[in-house]
Structure 1
Amino acid sequence: MKNYLFLGMMSAVVFFNSCSSNDDNEGPNISSEQPQLLLSKVTTVYYDNPSEPETTVSTLSYNNQRQLIKTISEGRASTFEYDNTGKPSKTIYYNPDGTVDYYSSYTYNGDQLTNIKAIYANSDSNRTVTYNYNANGQMTSSTLCQNPECSSPATDTYVYNGNNISSETSTWGGFMTYSNKRDFSYDDKLNPYTNINKYLKIMMGSAYNLSKNNYLVEKISSKDNGVWQQNQTITYSIQYNSSQLPVQVIGTEANGRKYVQYNYEYITQ
């Protein structure tokens, strides 16, 4: 159930999942002299077990150029380095004891992020995510390879409606192939990740990070004998601050049971 609109950065720590490279979907220019609201904290409450909800807290820190330089979630930190053009060049992931777990390096073709490689002390654990784009510069698919042969790839494929992803399909290879699909509708307000570097939003993955606005309804389907069968509908209620950014999002299942809750905090910089 933890495949929500959670801070995708944190899920990337453990799985490298795959905003659009389209500047129209990037939000205000990061170099603008006008103060901006930057996402600084995400508190997520999961209701897999309603009697024992599970809470995670993620914090985000920035330098004086509004570049994300550090995240911390569940005791695990990640730090980010940039080249002289402002593109992310390296992410270092730390264990809870402060030792380095692994690092990732970013490769570009012009203004497009083409792949991210995770490098471990044990090279057998290395993995690569490769990205593809449409003519509008929007990232349309990512492929995770966990070995040089890419024998059991995991793929995410996205369909866009303007600056929002209307459908996300995820497929995991291996002995058995499993797929699920999520279809979304949106509000007309900016989502909490608006002012984060567009390449980091690609690295974060998930339709929420890659889209401009906020989910209102999420329909989840899985394949049964090759046919998509919808098995879950989540409706999101959203509270906004005076800048019309979400401060609380509550997802509720069709039966009225609470699915997930997010609380967002921001700093002005």
Structure 2
Amino acid sequence: MLALGDFNELEVARAVDFGLYLTSDDGDLLLPGKYVPEGTQIGDRLRVFVYRDSEDRLIATTLEPLARVNQFAALTVRDVSQVGAFLEWGLEKDLLLPYRNQHRDLRPGQRVTIFVYLDDTSDRIVASAKWERYLPDAPFPGQAGDAVALFVADETDLGYKVIVDGLYQGLLYHNEVFRPLRLGDTPTGYVRQVRPDGKLDISLQKAGYDEALDAADTLLAALRTGGGTLPLSDKSEPDDIYRRLGMSKKVFKKALGTLYKRGLVQLLPTETRLLSGE
């Protein structure tokens, strides 16, 4: 069966003035000429993305969309109409986010996290901003301290809602964030705790001693890159520390202490120096 909203490998059946027709179990569909790879011959198999054009006809493209069916993505609103918002997703025809699938009204230029799915009634590819509905109910199989892949999905008063390992919902509290984040970012995170409701508290830093060791390695590398001197000390402003090293002042001071105890650095009022020989 043809996978609508995903990539398919299809055979070239015939050529026409405006492109190629590819054969499938659901009938032949057009690959417009501007997407035909140079040198393509009848009988070749092409990897193409299949969706519906503005007239609801199945059509193929070699363009790579920003999201496929059953995927999460953060997309930009191109336009708003009476039926919903239209999202830029890398193809000629924008992706529809119907009003019924929105939490709030959207405006052009705004970024929104969505889940892409195939509507059973219309057989169209559509988006939903109610992405939480599409996360499975299965409990997180790991434990506190685990490294996880994050997808930044939304910002709230408490912090950032994140999708963890593509399957679970977590919260990254504002006081755990020491760098700018935007919807769609995919940093590595660490599980702080698994809450009774199954949701996860997440941090961008490793907890405890591991965090200090990682930060110490980062600081040591920065000192070496800077010729042995870094214009930061334990009196420096948090913003200056973050801008240079991407870590909080608290973590920076732990890293300083770790290197000082190893006898690797000299601590001065306005800078840190790498001791000779290191």
Instruction: Provide the TM-score with structure 2 as the length reference.
Output: 0.26
The structure with more helix, counted as a fraction of residues: 2
Based on CA coordinates, which of the two structures has the bigger radius of gyration?
A: 2
The structure with more strand, counted as a fraction of residues: 1
Tell me: higher relative CO, structure 1 or 2? Use CA pairs within 8 A at least 6 residues apart.
1
